[in-house]
Amino acid sequence: MRKEVKQAMRICPDAVRRAAERQLADGLCEELRFRIGRAVQASVGGRSVSLEMQTTRAMLDELLERATQQSAYAAQEMLRCGFVTLPGGHRLGVCGTAVLREGEIRTLRGISSMNLRIARELPGIGEACAGWLWTHPASALLFGPPASGKTTLLRDIIRMIAQRQRVCVVDERQELAACLDGVPQFDLGENTDVLSAVPKELGITLLLRSMNPQWIALDEITAAEDVQAIVRASYCGVRFLATAHAASRQELFSRPVYRSLMEQGVFRNLISVSPNHSVRIERGNAG
């Protein structure tokens, strides 16, 4: 079993780890899903594998205790935010019934399922993209379908760019750097500063004022507010590295939020990532 899988599964009950070792062997496990009353499901290379055991309430309780190291405060934060970051950048997400107050989630009760997402680093996969960006210096948008490896590729490009220039990361969902107690769990390079758990629009503005970035990196552009902040920062000479969900160039340009960025000339480099993780680099334009 791969070392990152073993590391992530340290929080799992012993019986789950033994079942995974028997059934998954050296498979590239991406997720483990626990749903009460259902078999534990492993995602391996895009397919689902049922482990030979059912999820119980006791199993979820043990996962929560191990993930939060039996800290009541950490457990409460996890239930409020819906996840906890683990050593190595792995993440345990949780679902249940939300308790709302003034429109905000205060906690989750009646926990029904959990998802252990297994993170990995692939040093060197961004070498060709970083080389392209040195010879074609302009902002780059990485796009592809879910689970195609955009975030993993983005991390490595950040690491390589940061060997020469200053990179700031707006890690709104705490997935790019996955900081734990302020320490990034992924290697994002020597000249990288990370701002975690802040909306992209606010984060971009704050970094411009305080950190003098040459590049700003962020994951998953989704909102018009993100686009406005990116456009404003690009007028200041900052370049961007970002990702977007789109299975094809045609789909990318069919979405107004992305088309707006292209029409305004913000992203002049496009990097497409296919489901089989192959990468294609091209110049961007509005069509």
Select the more confidently predicted residue: 51 or 146.
51
**pTM of the predicted model, to two decimals?**
0.83
Bridge partners of residue 55, in order along the sequence: 36
Per-residue confidence (pLDDT) for residue 115, from 0 to 100: 97
Per-residue confidence (pLDDT) for residue 285, from 0 to 100: 64
pLDDT tens-digit map of 83-119: 999 999 999 999 999 999 888 888 999 999 999 999 9
Per-residue confidence (pLDDT) for residue 72, from 0 to 100: 84
pLDDT tens-digit map of 186-244: 999 999 999 998 999 999 999 999 999 999 999 999 888 999 999 999 999 999 999 99
Q: Which residues are within 8 A (CB) of 27 and not within 5 positions of it... i.e. 6 or more apart?
A: 42, 44, 45, 49
Select the more confidently predicted residue: 203 or 261.
203
Per-residue confidence (pLDDT) for residue 257, from 0 to 100: 87
**Cα distances (angstroms) measured from residue 31 to each of 49, 120, 137, 203, 219:** 10, 12, 36, 29, 20
The Cα–Cα gap between 12 and 9 comes to: 5
Tokens of 150: 């955009």
CB 216 within 8 A of CB 166: no
Bridge partners of residue 180, in order along the sequence: 183
pLDDT tens-digit map of 148-170: 889 999 999 999 999 999 999 99
pLDDT tens-digit map of 6-65: 999 999 999 999 999 888 876 678 999 999 999 999 998 778 999 999 999 999 999 999
pLDDT-derived band at 287 (thresholds 50, 70, 90) equals very low
Cβ-in-10-Å burial (0-12, 13-18, 19+) of 183 comes to exposed
